[in-house]
Amino acid sequence: MTIKECYEKVGSDYDGVLKRLGSEALVKRFAVKFLNDPSFQELTDGLAAQDGEKAFRAKQLYQWMHVKLAASLDEMTNLSKEMRGILKEKAFYASLNPVDVRISQIDGTRKYLFELEDGNVIESVLMRYKHGNSVCISSQVGCRMGCRFCASTLDGLERNLRPSEMLEQIYRIQRDTGERVSNVVVMGSGEPMDNYDNLIRFIHLLTDENGLHISQRNVTVSTCGIVPRIRQFAEENLQVTLALSLHAPNDEVRKTLMPVANSFALKDVLDACHYYFEKTGRRLTFEYSLVKGVNDNLDEARALADLLKGQHGHVNLIPVNPIKERDFKQSDRKAVEEFKQYLEKRGINVTVRREMGRDIDGACGQLRKSYIEKERT
């Protein structure tokens, strides 16, 4: 397998990485590290095969990574220099570099822009609630789903994030604040179901009793509605919450907002969601971004109530965060409240998402987009 084929295997843009790193030698070095992302058992097996160290070191290493949240191999002081040297040579250790941290003056929300080893940047958000700290993480660098109200998709997909890079967003924020993260939402840049294998490994590592041990019930995974992956996800024997980015009550309106609707009809998407409930017993969240004059009138509310009749879950109404590249506008408070009240009258469990971080480019992809534009000038 060539180096270019290695990058294609993990969903990365070889030409883009080559341009950023400057030489094929550096690209090769990154690729070799990139393909190794061990779980606890794999780590144990791998270390057992190394000369000079025994497999019991695996637990020490795992605790440094997933409990003590070491920022680098050099912090692992009870590992020998020889072992740390082997690890530096043979393994990829994800450590994100925060290039921008913005703190909302309105509600204290923190938005992080992290630089990856290959020069790409991703976003993460820390939100503080009464029930604990919640972190929203990215699952990809960019996104190829093309949702028209989302800044994450404007430059397309660069590559998938590895499980370690998803975990490190949480670990880095926890190290930065000194506060435990109790809830994780995979709802940042990217479509998690488009990075399926890495998503599943990430969830297992995040909830593993040897690591942070965050309850699966405190993990939410969002999807725009990739039907085969939703059904596959239902078979994983997980207890996470599934959130569907719905945003429209019918296929006609949904196609104007979300290109994925051209591939999967709403009926099939909701059938898959119902299957997820049947297999897991977990109620779903139906995300509905309200766009002024597009999907926020009472006709849409009526159609939405009809659509979700018999579904097990609740609707989360989201006044859309405007982005300069689109002419979408946020629905006014009166329209939001009337939409909510109608759904309630129809017996639909509905909430309006508390708007957080608007003064710090809080919407998905906005901070990354502004950073990239600045770097290009």
Q: Which is nearest to 121 in space by CA: 159, 71, 171, 163?
A: 159
Distances in Å between the Cα of 126 and the Cα atoms of 133, 185, 265 are: 7, 10, 34
The pLDDT assigned to 216 comes to: 98
pTM of the model: 0.84
By CB neighbour count within 10 A (0-12 exposed, 13-18 middle, 19+ buried), where does 19 fall?
Answer: exposed
pLDDT in tens, 163-216: 999 999 999 999 999 999 999 999 999 999 999 999 999 999 999 998 899 999
Ranges 74-78, 172-176, 295-299, 320-324: which has the least confidence: 320-324
| pLDDT band, residue 30 (cuts 50/70/90) | very low
Active site annotation includes 143: no
Query: How many angstroms separate the CA atoms of 232 and 226, rounded?
Result: 10
Q: Is 364 a catalytic residue?
A: yes
Q: Which domains does the chain have, with CATH numbers?
A: 3-90 (1.10.150.530), 97-376 (3.20.20.70)
From 6, 53, 123, 158, active-site residue: 123
Tell me the residue type at 96: L
Kindly name the residue from 143, 224, 273, 364 that is annotated as catalytic: 364
Instruction: Give the containing element (helix H, strand E) for 48.
Output: helix 40-48
Q: Can you point out the beta strands (E) in the chain?
A: 97-103, 110-115, 121-129, 132-137, 140-142, 157-160, 181-186, 219-223, 241-245, 284-290, 313-319, 350-352
Cα–Cα distance between 285 and 86 in angstroms, integer?
45
Q: Is 361 left (phi over 0), alpha (psi -120 to 50) or beta?
A: left
Is residue 130 predicted with pLDDT exceeding 80? yes
Spatial distance between the Cα atoms of 310 and 304, rounded to a whole number of angstroms: 12
Among 311, 260, 253, which Cα is nearest to 282's? 311
The whole-number average pLDDT for the span 28-33 is 46
First and final CA of the chain: distance in angstroms?
A: 37
What pLDDT is attached to residue 213?
93
